[in-house]
Amino acid sequence: MSLTRTAIHRFRYIYRTISPPPPSPITDRFLSHHPIPKPFQFHFSFYSSSSSLKQESVNGGDDVYPTGDFNFVPVTGFNKFAVKLKTLIALPWERIQHGSVLKIILRGQISDQLNSRFSRVLSLPRICDNLLKAAYDPRISAVYLHIDILNCGWGKIDEIRRQVLNFRKSGKFVVAYVPSCREKEYYIACACEEIYVPPSAYFSLFGLTVQAGFVRGVLDNLGIEPQVEKFGKYKSAGEQLTRKTMSEDNREMLTTLLDNIYSNWLDKVSSARGKKREDIENFINEGVYQVDRLKEEGFISSILYDDEVMTRLKERLQVNTNKNLPIVDFRKYSGVRKWTVGISGGKELIAVIRASGTIRRVESPLSAPSKGIIGEKFIEKIRRVRESNKFKAAIIRIDSPGGDALASDLMWREIRLLAASKPVIASMSDLAASGGYYMAMGAGVIVAESLTLTGSIGVVAGKFNLGKLYEKIGFNKEIISRGKYAELLAAEQRSFRPHEAELFAKSAQNIYKQFRDKAAFSRSMTVDKMEEVAQGRVWTGTDAASHGLVDAIGGLSRAIAIAKLKANIPQDRQVTVVELSRPSPSLPEILSGLGNSLVGVDQTLKELLHDLTFSDGVQARMDGIMFQKLEGYPSANPILALMKDYLSSM
């Protein structure tokens, strides 16, 4: 299928950054065992020989790459006149009153995918897009952020905060109204010029927690014995099934992750509020919940209801108190084209391929078409970009805890082949762990947010022994087989026999070694060095960069700047960023999903059990970790959250 027949959405960016390109060496030892086509070898040889810089990129040398920082360039002269003319002749749904305030409600889940108008889930690309347009739109005077309880990771939170600060570079202002606030919501609010809360606001800055749920006790009560092989001492995805308590290795890893997130929060908040870090920490440890104390201590600007904030906005924008303040909502403003406000792209095209959710090799018959990463579909997009001469570079945008190890490997291969013909940059969102990292390491450069959860280079495989459960319910199963290992996965009514257990363990270990060795090759490390940072351990983006798993810290804007650098496009030249992922879900998919939920309950439960037993192959996935107040609601039950994670991956 040609690119002209696909639903392509263009997003244009303006960046002005300059930095020389780093080298990208190749490991000859790995090539001898994993031959790559000659164009691929030539591609990386070209980068190595053309750079005069010291080799450092895989050792956490972040400063050699352009930052991708947004520089607001005021529209003047004829361009200013042209923008005014465009707004006058704009399509009816793009017409907005001058002096309008853009209102954005940040609440609940935020998707890294492009969402259609039928979706009620907020889309990170559209949030960023609207804030960029508003910065240049002469009709928009300010942004009014309603921030409520958010359910997403810290990678997206950092990106939103960055976009709010970018908007303020235009000279316009942003105010936040926060009726219910915890650490994550306050983190974004601190980027605003003013923070308002109602007198009855739920404000709970009490600190952060991390928890891991364990279902072994539940399985024992049901008569189910989990038989799991995991490789990597920090690989926690199997522990939730086999243990009743947290292992010391898992505790060490989670403690480090929590310390990094909490430390980052303290640093950013103290800097934004002009306070000492110790003062912020002491305030949190007091357990303050009274909003008047928040105002006294300078944590908020004032205590006002929403209508009172609107009155303040009228006064600031010099709107007559008898008139309504012109407000444009997020959904309506999403229909305004960048062209209308004078943001134009360049001739060079950079493709963005988004990969969000749990990884599957093929699409499940009953799963919604938009759910997760389907290996076959992702590979089709990669090949279209590789075969097209239109694109100068590609960005793989990843937000995934991993999944099927085979699918991850097949996608890794295609990403490597794409990198043979043009620069490929991986950009990580909240998660790029296990299979998500497997994909990322196929790119020439990896960019992560400082608090992206990544790494988790390890695998897990297993099945359930349902023998005791079958006895309880009076069910019996007999198998007739031919072949020594024919019953390896078929006989769920009994435990592995010794020879079966040995083969099962060796098979999973072989896949772990392939994952680890390819990671070492991709990151130009020795296997022994990679083993030190693998073992299934999850890292934050900053720590991953210091250990050579990530090249640069930043968001999509930095990935685009690096892509321009690699494609020899001047940093001050505009490019057109082409989103290859279609908005989702569509109306037919919503109706399809509704039907599934009504008539497919039995099959859904079967698929859930199928996922839990990993029976379709070894899994490279990160599961079982929930950051309370970070990625879920504080009252969430960890076992229910675990089940929800598996259900949402279908």
Query: CA nearest 133: which of 333, 325, 351, 347?
Result: 333
- Assess whether 100 carries a catalytic annotation: no
Look up residue 297 and give its DSSP letter.
T
Can you give 19-63 as a three-state secondary structure string?
A: CCCCCCCCCHHHHHHCCCCHHHHHHHHHHHHHCCCCCCHHHCCHH
Radius of gyration of the chain (CA): 26
Q: Cα–Cα distance between 389 and 486 in angstroms, integer?
A: 48
- DSSP state letters, 154-207: HHHHHHHHHHHHHHHTTT-EEEEE-SEE-HHHHHHHTTSSEEEE-TT-EE----
Q: Which amino acid is at 50?
A: S
Name the strand (E) or helix (H) holding 93: none
Structure tokens at 634: 């504080």
Only one residue has tokens 């023998």, namely 467
Quick check: helix, strand or coil at residue 645?
Answer: helix
Buried b (16+ CB within 10 A) or exposed e, 67-85: bbebebeebeeeeeeebee
Query: How far lies 560's CA from each of 60, 127, 428, in Å?
Result: 19, 18, 13
Q: Cα–Cα distance between 533 and 94 in angstroms, integer?
A: 51
Look up residue 487 and give its DSSP letter.
T
Taking CA 33 as the corner, what is the angle to CA 32 and CA 35, rounded to the nearest 5 degrees? 70
Catalytic residue among 57, 356, 367, 434: 434
CA atoms within 13 A on the CB side of 424: 30
Look up residue 259 and give its DSSP letter.
H
Query: CA nearest 229: which of 639, 536, 640?
Result: 536
Buried b (16+ CB within 10 A) or exposed e, 9-18: eebbbbbbbe
Q: Cα–Cα distance between 462 and 98 in angstroms, integer?
A: 61
Only one residue has tokens 């244009």, namely 12
Query: CA nearest 547: which of 559, 556, 562, 537?
Result: 537
Q: Cα–Cα distance between 268 and 260 in angstroms, integer?
A: 12
Quick check: helix, strand or coil at residue 383?
Answer: helix
- The number of beta carbons lying within 10 Å of the beta carbon of residue 393 is 28
Active-site residue set: 434
